[in-house]
């Protein structure tokens, strides 16, 4: 029976198990009787094989190997084998005299097989126990998550349109949200809709009047739909944006968003940032489990390295404390709280000077306009049916002062001559009106210290140059990811476990965030004027490449607009631009000077993109699936 079992098993190996047995050993004196050296006779599961190996080692048959004249001869009490061929049995097996007794050998071989059989049996039992305990654990986990998804919301976290609250008894708040700007307001509504009890603390609940966050890319609009907030761009005189127009030295190129595959409602939207935020705040505040309070958060409350809540000053100046298992800090680009939660590295390459133009029409209605001006780009886009936002990029951190008229002078003499003629008089009128606003443009790579009980979101967490208008798209995309991660969690109280689980957030957000961040940083560098000939060529190549149309324009525009969050595609387009530039330089006849410029162009392009990618994190950006946190499962509840 054993023989037929072995013969079956050796012809039906189990994938993933140990390799086939080692060389056959022939008994010295019984030509038809075989046993095996060391390796078990079957391809067995690993633990089982180890078990069998142990048994072999424990067997009272010491095996001694020695090499003689290039061939291995194995002598043992009872077994001998020639390593080459099935040649005659050892003639000089002096150590094997007693093997000449066939009866003894048979008994020994029988012992061996019996021992293996017992070991296998024990191995199977061992495996069975292991498997059973693993299955029980997995079942428990599945039941916990499944039950939550199906029913537990009824008595724990209720998901409903009107945000029903949990039964009484637990802590008062599940999540504290610091700041109700784009990220905070959208997050409060999203978590509130999922049944969380949210306490939002916002420094100023009146309608903000700012020059930031006015063009929502189509990718961001899709996220707004996913969050059920698309109605927040209604009734605020928001304008549809269907693409970009690029201007350089009197030439222009239209770069439409590739929206053919989407519903006709999907496009970019531009608006007054304050109106949009106010709509989201109102919508969040309609949920009974969302409490919106005016106050300034002054610090995070920490206990045993876990954030337990915040200390804040109310509108009336009262100092209060609020507690919750999770505090999400969305206090924007001037965040005071982020220092405790991430590497506070900030780079300010330039500032935007903002104006509002009236009584004029854009050369390309419903388009964002980018002028490749000197020293750096100028943007125009509609923010209502009668107003056009103009943002002038001024390199460096030091701006000409507004108060003494230096700024007006700078705009009139240096910038106005580069503005499209259709907009010129409105541009001058707007400067004369005097409503000039400024904002620093910051780069802040996402470098969090994963902290139990707290999370950063929005600009406080990660910023990129606003040239491509990607900030709100990244913030809304992050909220969708966080919402989905938190969904299976009923109880947020185990902060350490929750924090470990939420580490996957930092990886999951990478495709969208890195694509938009890298493109913004790279484009800003390419679009800036430079006296360097190689940089000039790169800028011209970029304009030329985008003007080619087809995939050369839709590819980069899809990346910029958040419709195609693929960092690899971005790198390919970036180097395609560089190669296009090299082609322009070297064709039809390359000269040594042009060859030198081409080499510097490639070097310059690498010098632009690689540091940005490095700051984003190569592994997380290009190989997110190799990051262990990517696979982290929600804590078992
Ligand atoms: C010049 C400029 C132009 C931009 N243009 C665009 C664009 O066209 N499209 C785009 O998508 N993105 C754009 N961005 C980026 C975009 O504005 C941000 O990504 C977005 O506003 C981030 O939202 P947030 O909620 O993180 O920050 P914010 O919207 O700034 O909100 C932060 C909130 O926190 C509150 N707050 C601050 N401190 C405290 C405190 N201590 N306690 C309580 N509350 C506090 C503030 O009052 C504010 O309401 C631009 C940025 C700049 C600088």
Q: What is the mean pLDDT of residues 265-288?
A: 98
On whether the 347-442 domain is CATH 3.30.9.100, my answer is yes
Residue 135 pLDDT > 60, yes or no?
Answer: no
Q: What is the mean pLDDT of residues 439-455?
A: 93
User: Which ligand 1 atom minimizes the distance to the CA of 312?
Assistant: 42
Residue 38 pLDDT > 60, yes or no?
Answer: no
Measured in Å, residue 383 CA sits from the centre of ligand 1 at: 17
Q: What is the mean pLDDT of residues 26-33?
A: 36
Place of tokens 């098993």: 9
In the three-class reduction of DSSP (H, G, I as helix; E, B as strand; rest coil), residue 352 is classed as strand
Q: What distance, in Å, lies between the first and last C-alpha atoms of the chain? A: 50
Q: Answer with the residue of higher pLDDT: 268 or 168.
A: 268
The pLDDT, as a whole number, for residue 51 is 36
User: Which ligand 1 atom minimizes the distance to the CA of 470?
Assistant: 11
Alpha helix ranges (H) inside 286-420: 406-410
φ and ψ at residue 192, rounded to 5 degrees: -60, -40
The pLDDT, as a whole number, for residue 633 is 84
Measured in Å, residue 333 CA sits from the centre of ligand 1 at: 6
Local confidence band at 41 (pLDDT 50, 70, 90 cut-offs): very low
Give residue-wise pLDDT tens across range 317-368: 999 999 999 999 999 999 999 999 999 889 999 999 999 999 899 999 999 9
Pocket lined around ligand 1, Cβ cut-off 6 Å: 178-184, 201-204, 211-216, 296-297, 330-332, 336, 352, 439, 441, 458-460, 466, 469-473, 475
Give residue-wise pLDDT tens across range 182-240: 999 999 999 999 999 999 999 999 999 999 999 999 999 999 999 999 999 999 999 99
Average pLDDT, the chain: 81
Residue 109 pLDDT > 60, yes or no?
Answer: no
Please give the distance of CA 489 from its chain centroid, rounded to a whole number: 21
Q: Answer with the residue of higher pLDDT: 139 or 598.
A: 598
Q: What is the mean pLDDT of residues 125-135?
A: 53
Local confidence band at 432 (pLDDT 50, 70, 90 cut-offs): very high
Q: What is the mean pLDDT of residues 154-170?
A: 39
Residue 481 pLDDT > 90, yes or no?
Answer: yes
Give residue-wise pLDDT tens across range 523-539: 999 999 999 999 999 99
Is the Cβ–Cβ distance between 448 and 341 less than 8 Å?
yes
Q: Answer with the residue of higher pLDDT: 610 or 100.
A: 610
Give the tokens for residue 200.
């939002």
Residue 564 pLDDT > 70, yes or no?
Answer: yes
Q: Answer with the residue of higher pLDDT: 392 or 45.
A: 392
Residue 441 pLDDT > 70, yes or no?
Answer: yes
The pLDDT, as a whole number, for residue 636 is 74
Q: State the sign of the Cα–Cα–Cα–Cα dihedral 483, 488, 494, 498.
A: negative
The pLDDT, as a whole number, for residue 630 is 86
Is the Cβ–Cβ distance between 72 and 80 less than 8 Å?
no
Q: What is the mean pLDDT of residues 549-571?
A: 96
User: Which ligand 1 atom minimizes the distance to the CA of 471?
Assistant: 19
User: Which ligand 1 atom minimizes the distance to the CA of 183?
Assistant: 25
Of all residues in the chain, the percent with pLDDT exceeding 70 is 73
Is the Cβ–Cβ distance between 351 and 480 less than 8 Å?
no
- Name the burial class of residue 526, with classes exposed (0-12), middle (13-18) and buried (19+) by CB atoms within 10 angstroms of its CB: buried
Residue 116 pLDDT > 70, yes or no?
Answer: no
The pLDDT, as a whole number, for residue 635 is 82
The pLDDT, as a whole number, for residue 127 is 55
Residue 157 pLDDT > 80, yes or no?
Answer: no
Residue 497 pLDDT > 80, yes or no?
Answer: yes
Of all residues in the chain, the percent with pLDDT exceeding 90 is 67
In the three-class reduction of DSSP (H, G, I as helix; E, B as strand; rest coil), residue 316 is classed as coil
Measured in Å, residue 183 CA sits from the centre of ligand 1 at: 8
For ligand 1, pick from 181, 378, 563 the residue to mutate: most ligand atoms within 8 Å of CB. Answer: 181
The closest residue, in CA terms, to atom 26 on ligand 1 is: 458
The pLDDT, as a whole number, for residue 496 is 87
The pLDDT, as a whole number, for residue 105 is 43
The closest residue, in CA terms, to atom 21 on ligand 1 is: 213
Give the tokens for residue 26.
């022939």
Place of tokens 């409350």: 301
The pLDDT, as a whole number, for residue 7 is 39
Measured in Å, residue 457 CA sits from the centre of ligand 1 at: 11
The pLDDT, as a whole number, for residue 292 is 97
Highest mean pLDDT among 37-41, 84-88, 429-433: 429-433
The closest residue, in CA terms, to atom 15 on ligand 1 is: 471
Q: Which CATH architecture has domain 175-213+273-345+444-508?
A: 3-Layer(bba) Sandwich (3.50)
The pLDDT, as a whole number, for residue 631 is 83
Q: The sheet that has 347-358: what strands, in order across it?
A: 251-256, 243-248, 367-371, 378-382, 387-395, 347-358, 437-443
Q: What is the DSSP string of 281-306?
A: HHHHHTSTTEEEEEEEEEEEEEETTE
Q: State the sign of the Cα–Cα–Cα–Cα dihedral 77, 81, 86, 88.
A: negative
Q: What is the pTM of this model?
A: 0.76
Residue 625 pLDDT > 50, yes or no?
Answer: yes
Q: What is the mean pLDDT of residues 173-178?
A: 97
The pLDDT, as a whole number, for residue 12 is 39
Residue 505 pLDDT > 80, yes or no?
Answer: yes
Local confidence band at 112 (pLDDT 50, 70, 90 cut-offs): low
The pLDDT, as a whole number, for residue 124 is 61
Give the tokens for residue 460.
């406080």
User: Which ligand 1 atom minimizes the distance to the CA of 184?
Assistant: 25
Measured in Å, residue 459 CA sits from the centre of ligand 1 at: 6
Q: Answer with the residue of higher pLDDT: 137 or 250.
A: 250
Q: What is the mean pLDDT of residues 167-179?
A: 78
- Of the listed ranges 161-175, 334-348, 384-398, 543-557, the least confidently predicted one is 161-175
Highest mean pLDDT among 93-102, 160-169, 285-294: 285-294
- Of the listed ranges 100-109, 145-154, 169-178, 286-295, the least confidently predicted one is 145-154
Beta strands in 34-191 (DSSP E): 34-36, 63-68, 71-76, 79-82, 175-178
Local confidence band at 22 (pLDDT 50, 70, 90 cut-offs): very low
How many C-beta neighbours within 10 Å does residue 602 have?
16
- C-alpha distances (whole Å) from 101 to each of 59, 79, 92, 109, 366 are 20, 12, 16, 13, 100
User: Which ligand 1 atom minimizes the distance to the CA of 473?
Assistant: 11
Domain boundaries defined on the chain: 2-131, 175-213+273-345+444-508, 347-442, 514-622
């Amino acid at each position: 029976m054993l023989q037929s079992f072995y013969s079956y098993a050796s012809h039906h190996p189990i994938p993933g198990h140990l390799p086939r047995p080692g060389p056959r050993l022939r008994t010295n004196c019984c030509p038809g009787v075989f046993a095996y050296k060391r390796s078990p006779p079957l391809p067995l599961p690993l633990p089982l094989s180890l078990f069998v190996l142990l048994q072999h080692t424990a067997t009272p048959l010491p095996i001694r190997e020695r090499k003689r004249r290039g061939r291995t001869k194995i002598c043992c009490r009872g077994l001998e084998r020639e390593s080459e061929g099935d040649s005659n049995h050892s003639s000089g097996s002096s150590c094997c005299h007693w093997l000449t007794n066939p009866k003894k050998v048979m008994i020994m071989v029988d012992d061996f097989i019996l021992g293996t059989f017992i070991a296998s049996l024990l191995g199977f039992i061992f495996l069975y126990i292991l498997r059973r305990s693993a299955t029980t654990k997995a079942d428990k986990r599945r039941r916990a998550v499944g039950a939550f998804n199906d029913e537990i919301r009824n008595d724990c976290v209720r998901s409903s349109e009107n945000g029903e609250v949990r039964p009484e008894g637990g802590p008062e708040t599940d999540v504290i949200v610091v700041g109700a700007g784009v990220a905070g307001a959208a997050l409060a509504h999203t978590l509130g809709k999922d049944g969380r009890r949210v306490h939002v603390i916002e420094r100023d609940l009146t309608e903000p009047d700012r020059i930031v966050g006015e063009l929502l890319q189509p990718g961001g609009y899709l996220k707004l739909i996913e969050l059920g907030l698309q109605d927040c761009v209604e009734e605020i005189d928001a304008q549809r944006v269907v693409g970009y127009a690029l201007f350089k030295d009197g030439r222009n190129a239209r770069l439409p968003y590739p929206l053919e595959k989407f519903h006709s409602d999907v496009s970019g939207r531009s608006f007054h940032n304050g109106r949009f935020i106010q709509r989201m705040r109102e919508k969040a505040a309609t949920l009974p489990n969302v409490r919106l309070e005016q106050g300034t958060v002054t610090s995070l409350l920490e206990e045993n390295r876990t954030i337990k809540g915040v200390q804040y000053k109310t509108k009336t100046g009262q100092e209060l404390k609020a507690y919750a298992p999770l505090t999400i800090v969305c206090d924007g680009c001037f965040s005071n709280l982020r220092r405790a939660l991430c590497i506070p590295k900030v780079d300010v390459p330039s500032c935007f000077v903002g104006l509002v133009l009236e009584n004029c029409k854009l050369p390309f209605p419903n388009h964002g306009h980018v002028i490749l001006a000197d020293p750096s780009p100028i943007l125009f886009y509609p923010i209502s049916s009668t107003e056009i936002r103009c943002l002038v990029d001024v390199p460096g951190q030091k701006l000409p002062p507004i108060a003494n008229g230096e700024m007006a002078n700078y705009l009139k003499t240096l910038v106005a001559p580069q503005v499209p003629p259709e907009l010129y008089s409105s541009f001058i009128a707007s400067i004369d009106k005097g409503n000039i606003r400024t904002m620093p443009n910051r780069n802040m790579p996402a470098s969090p210290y994963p902290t139990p009980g707290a999370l950063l979101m929005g600009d406080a967490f990660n910023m990129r140059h606003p040239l491509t208008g990607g900030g709100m798209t990244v913030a809304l995309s992050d909220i969708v990811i966080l919402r989905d991660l938190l969904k299976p969690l009923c109880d947020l109280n185990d902060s350490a476990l929750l924090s470990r689980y939420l580490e996957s957030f930092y990886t999951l957000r990478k495709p969208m965030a890195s694509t938009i961040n890298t493109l913004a940083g790279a484009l800003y560098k390419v679009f800036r004027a430079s006296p360097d000939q190689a940089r000039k060529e790169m800028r011209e190549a970029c304009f030329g490449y985008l003007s080619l149309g087809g995939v050369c324009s839709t590819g980069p525009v899809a990346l910029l607009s958040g419709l195609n969050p693929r960092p690899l595609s971005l790198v390919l387009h970036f180097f395609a631009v560089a190669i296009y530039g090299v082609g322009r330089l070297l064709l039809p006849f390359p000269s040594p000077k042009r060859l030198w410029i081409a080499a510097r162009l490639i070097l310059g392009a690498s010098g632009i993109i690689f540091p940005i990618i490095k700051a984003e994190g190569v592994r997380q950006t290009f190989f997110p699936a190799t990051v262990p946190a990517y696979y982290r499962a929600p804590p078992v509840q």
